[in-house]
Amino acid sequence: MRRRLAWALTALWLVSGRAYGDESEEARLRARLKPEVATSVIEVVRSAAAQGLPTAPLVARALEGASRQAEDAAILDAVRRYSAGLAAARRALGPTARASELDAGAGALMAGVPEDSLASLRRARPSGSLVIPLVVLSDFVARGVPVASASNTVLAATRAGAADPALLRMRERIHERILRGEEPTGASREGLRELLMKTPGTPKERGNRDPHEKGRP
Amino acid sequence: MNPDDRWDDEVRDAYHRPIEGEAQARERGIARLRREARARRSRMGAWWVDPDVLRVRPLVFAASLLAVLVIGAWAGARWMASRGAPAPPRSIATLTGESTAVTFVFRAPGATRVSLVGDFNGWDPNATPLARATTGDVWTTRVSLEHGLHAYAFVIDGRDWAPDPSAPLAPVTTFGRRNSLLVVGEDQAL
């Protein structure tokens, strides 16, 4: 009897907490957006929640649009597209992907990274978090590295077993090279080469091969 | 002894005969040379300080000035490079349990107000102002963030949005400018 009561209370606490969270998000949206825009955005958010997608990134996107004084249609469009991006990221990364992975994956997909690349990343790191690899990939695309080169660079590094700190160091080195005026594709190639040369257990000759060549990595 | 030999002896004697006052004359000559050297040195010193008119071709003057400037700039750049360029300010994250305290650092020359906006404060430009550091154009603030992926930017003087130059960039530009990305609780992206 006590156990049932405990389960009931726990369930009630979870439901109330979830409901409170949703109400809190909706209240924030209504406080910052025009009523009709807020209603439309809330519909998208509720639909995402029903699909089991994270809703915080959608709310954040709407609030960012409000702070940047974007047009109503642009805000609603951004929220809808990001919701679709989250759904696509879950398709690519699998049903067990964490909220932060879906968030990072949605951004990468919206920047033009194909779903196959995300799925390959998941296969390269089946149990570990993909947040840092996806953030590094997104950063490369944002800095002008072509999507194919950026995807291949991060995928090759992840397959080689590079840990997150090594990926972040590679990002910084490639960023510095681009700032010095190097062409982004060449900079990413050299950054990956340096990482592979320093990654334990990676054959040295592998670091001298071009990871961007066809059929690689 | 024939007359020629005698003549030779007389000439030789006359040549070796001490001249009256020779030593005094030598001393006077040396003293005169020293005076002339001192006077010459004095005139050279006066060249540097006495007002005078220098006649220089304008083209030569301009070329000389340009050469001095170029050499000076080159030498200065080499000196700065040897000292190492100053590192840009970087945001720093430190792990403190379930959330993480993150110090955001941003350089904004000439700004009168800088604030931090992100998904953690509802992108509200008034929520998280930065304080100006004692070093002038560097602004900082410290925020406790939950673990996960965060997007953020800096707002300068309430109107200009700028990403963090030391952080990864978000890949999409939905509302005009890119945001920065921060991962808390993975391996500390910053």
CA–CA min distance B70, chain A (Å): 23
Q: CA of A1 to nearest chain B CA: how many angstroms apart?
A: 34
Average pLDDT score over chain B: 82
**Is B170 an 8 Å CB contact of chain A?**
yes
Distance CA B120, CA B145 (A): 7
Chain A contact probe: residue of B91, B172, B178, B184 with most A CBs at under 10 A: B172
Whether residues B170 and A60 touch (CB distance < 8 A) is answered with: no
Residues B156 and B180 grouped into a single domain:
yes
Mean pLDDT of all residues in B73-100: 63
Regarding whether B177 and B97 lie in a shared domain, the answer is yes
According to the model, what pLDDT value does residue A198 have? 80
* Residue that finishes a domain, picked among B51, B83, B115: B83
- Asked if residue B79 has pLDDT above 70, the reply is yes
Please give the structure tokens belonging to residue A32: 């910052």
Is 80 exceeded by the pLDDT of residue A175? yes
By CA distance, what is B172's nearest residue in A? A111
pLDDT tier for residue A127 given thresholds of 50, 70 and 90: confident
For the domain that residue B99 is a member of, what is the CATH number?
2.60.40.10
Query: Which candidate, A8, A48, A110, places its Cα nearest to that of A134?
Result: A110
> B36 in a domain, yes or no?
yes
Q: B149 vs A131: CB contact, 8 Å cut-off?
A: yes
Query: Residue B138: what are its φ and ψ, rounded to 5°?
Result: -100, 130
Residues in B touching A131 (Cβ below 8 Å) = 149, 183, 186
Considering B83, B112, B136, which residue would you say is the last residue of a domain? B83
- In this structure, the answer to whether residues B99 and B165 fall within a common structural domain is yes
pLDDT of residue B164: 92
A131-142: pLDDT as tens digits: 999 999 999 999
Higher pLDDT, B92 or B123: B123
Q: Contact B119/A70, CB-based, under 8 Å?
A: no
CB contact under 8 A, B186 and A78: no
What six digits make up the tokens of A110? 């919206």
d(CA A173, CA A157): 14
Identify all chain A residues contacting B117, using CB atoms and an 8 Å cutoff.
64, 67
Which chain B residue is nearest to residue A168, measuring alpha carbons? Answer: B189
User: Looking at beta carbons, which residues of chain B come within 8 Å of A158?
Assistant: none
Residue B151 Cα distances to A181, A190, A205, B107, B138, angstroms: 27, 28, 38, 19, 21
More confident residue, A143 or B14: A143
CB contact under 8 A, B181 and A138: yes
- This prediction has a pTM of 0.68
pLDDT(B188) > 90 = no
Reported confidence tier of residue A83, pLDDT bands at 50, 70, 90? very high
- Identify which of B161, B171, B174 has the shortest CB distance to residue A142: B171
Instruction: Please tell me if residue B122 touches chain A, with a CB cutoff of 8 Å.
Output: yes
Q: What is the pLDDT of residue B83?
A: 53
What integer is the mean pLDDT of B54-61? 85
Return the pLDDT at B12.
83
Whether chain A has a CB inside 8 Å of the CB on B127: the answer is: no
CA dist A92 and A97 (Å) reads 9
Contact A67 B124 (CB under 8 A): yes
* Amino acid occupying residue B176: G
Q: Does residue B17 or residue B129 have the better pLDDT?
A: B129
- Give me the residue label for tokens 């910053």: B190
Q: pLDDT digit string (tens) for A54-63?
A: 999 999 999 9
Assigned domain for B189 exists: no
- DSSP labels, B59-125: HHHHHHHHHHHHHHHHHHHHHHHHH-PPPPP--EEEEETTEEEEEEEEE-TT-S-EEEEEGGGTT-T
Q: Does A108 touch chain B (CB under 8 A)?
A: yes
Residues B73 and B117 in one domain: no
Nearest one of A139, A157, A168, A159 to A195, comparing CA atoms: A157
| Per-residue b or e along A105-132, where b marks 16 or more CB atoms closer than 10 Å to that residue's CB | bbbbbbbebeeebbebbbebbeeebbbb
Chain B residues closer than 8 Å to A82 by CB: 174
Shared domain for B127 and B72, answered yes or no, is no
pLDDT confidence of residue A189: 92
Quick check: A204 pLDDT over 50? no
B64, B83, B102: which is the final residue of a domain?
B83
- Please say whether the dihedral angle defined by the alpha carbons of residues B115, A175, B189 and A106, taken in this order, is positive or negative: positive
Specify the residue for token string 């996960």: B148
Average pLDDT (B49-74) is 85
Task: Look up the domain containing B123 and give its range.
Answer: 92-184
What are the backbone angles phi and psi of residue B97, rounded to the nearest 5°?
85, -135
Domains of chain B: total: 2
Determine, for residues B175 and A68 on separate chains, whether the beta-carbon distance falls below 8 Å. yes
Spatial separation of the C-alpha atoms in residues A160 and B190, rounded to whole Å: 23
Count A/B contacts: CB-CB distance under 8 Å. 93
Instruction: Tell whether A169 is within 8 A of chain B (Cβ).
Output: no
User: Within this chain, do residues B31 and B66 fall inside the same structural domain, yes or no?
Assistant: yes
pLDDT of amino acid B151: 93
Q: Within this chain, do residues B125 and B145 fall inside the same structural domain, yes or no?
A: yes
* Contact indicator for B188, B102 with CB cutoff of 8 Å: no
> B5 pLDDT band (50/70/90 cuts)?
confident
Domain match, B68 and B123 both: no
Distances in Å between the Cα of A52 and the Cα atoms of A15, A20, A84, A102 are 15, 17, 13, 11
B127 and B77 in one domain? no
Query: For A55-59, A101-105, A180-184, B99-103, which range has the lowest pLDDT when averaged over its residues?
Result: B99-103
Residue A199, pLDDT score: 73
Query: Closest Cα of chain B to A148: distance in Å?
Result: 14
Q: Are residues B106 and B171 in the same domain?
A: yes
Contact check, Cβ <8 Å, A100/B149: yes
For residues B122 and B79, state if they share a domain: no
Task: For chain A, give every domain's residue range.
Answer: 23-95, 111-217
Does A215 score more than 60 pLDDT? no
Q: What is the pLDDT of residues A1-35, one digit of tens each?
A: 556 655 555 544 444 444 444 678 899 999 999 99
Stretch B32-44: mean pLDDT: 79
Mean pLDDT of A70-98: 95
- Quick one: B63 and B135 in the same domain? no
Question: Within a domain: residue B190?
Answer: no
pLDDT at B87 over 60: no
Tens-place pLDDT, residues A63-73: 999 999 999 99
Closest CA to A183 of A160, A149, A207: A149
Closest CA to B149 of B184, B98, B187: B184
Q: What percent of chain A is modeled with pLDDT above 70?
A: 81
